[in-house]
Chain A
């Protein structure tokens, strides 16, 4: 069974540019979550999608957006990049049932974004 696939793994951008990150979940998983990981802030929740609907959003500016497609694949976009956006962006998929212990997150390897 293929795991969670994130692309690209590494990317370098300059301030003001935009970036799109992609996440393909485990087959059968309908929920995709995104987290930003930085040394100072740890893992910060960005958003969660289930069946193409955003069910929750973290405390990030509107420059951060995402979407989910009918095949459960998800993308997140960051516009007008700032130096502080440099981070590891982790995607995680799950079955999506909030109340079930089976709702274990399976993470991808992450996309390392460096903003110069």
Chain B
């Protein structure tokens, strides 16, 4: 069965600092995608970044980057230069068969 685990329920970071959110997963697929979604307090979930498993290079989107370790089945999200607007729940997600499997989320608070 496919699983996604986020072991950090809550984290905080000072504005302008860097923070890393952890995610581990399990899948028997060889090629797959992984996603990080963000859910701000206003509730609408938005895509932060995605990674295709067969690509060696870690994905980067502006201040957001991932550290993808395929053998270890680890997919962490690094947020650089944290901003107050980064305060949100962050979900790691693995697409399954016509559904996504989400981790339980990490609540990130950026402190002024």
A interface with B by C-beta (< 8 Å): 31, 33, 35, 42-43, 45, 48, 50, 55-56, 58, 88, 90, 92, 98, 101, 103-110
Contacts and interface: CB of A to CB of B under 8 A. Distances in A.
A48 to B, nearest CB: 5
B44 interface: yes
Contact of A104 (B47, B97, B102, B105): B47
B72 to A, nearest CB: 22
B98 A98 contact: yes
B100 A33 contact: yes
A45 B97 CA distance: 11
B99 A48 contact: yes
B91 interface: yes
A50 B95 CA distance: 16
Would you list the 4 A-B pairs with minimal beta carbon distance, nearest first?
Answer: A56-B98, A107-B45, A43-B102, A55-B98
A106 B44 CA distance: 9
Contacts of A101: 33, 50, 52
Interface residues of B, number: 23
Most buried by B among A35, A58, A105, A106: A105
Contact of A98 (B46, B47, B91, B97): B97
B35 interface: yes
A103 to B, nearest CB: 7
Given A43-B91, A101-B50, A104-B50, A90 B100 contact: no
B100 A45 contact: yes
Contacts of B99: 33, 45, 48, 56, 58
Contacts of A43: 91, 102, 105
B98 A90 contact: no
Contacts of B91: 42-43
Contacts of B45: 90, 92, 105, 107
Interface in B41-96: 42-47, 50, 52, 91, 93, 95
A43 B104 CA distance: 7
B44 A109 contact: yes
A42 B105 contact: yes
Given A106-B47, A109-B42, 15 more contacts: A33-B99, A42-B91, A45-B100, A45-B101, A48-B98, A48-B99, A56-B97, A56-B98, A58-B99, A98-B95, A101-B52, A103-B95, A104-B35, A107-B46, A108-B44
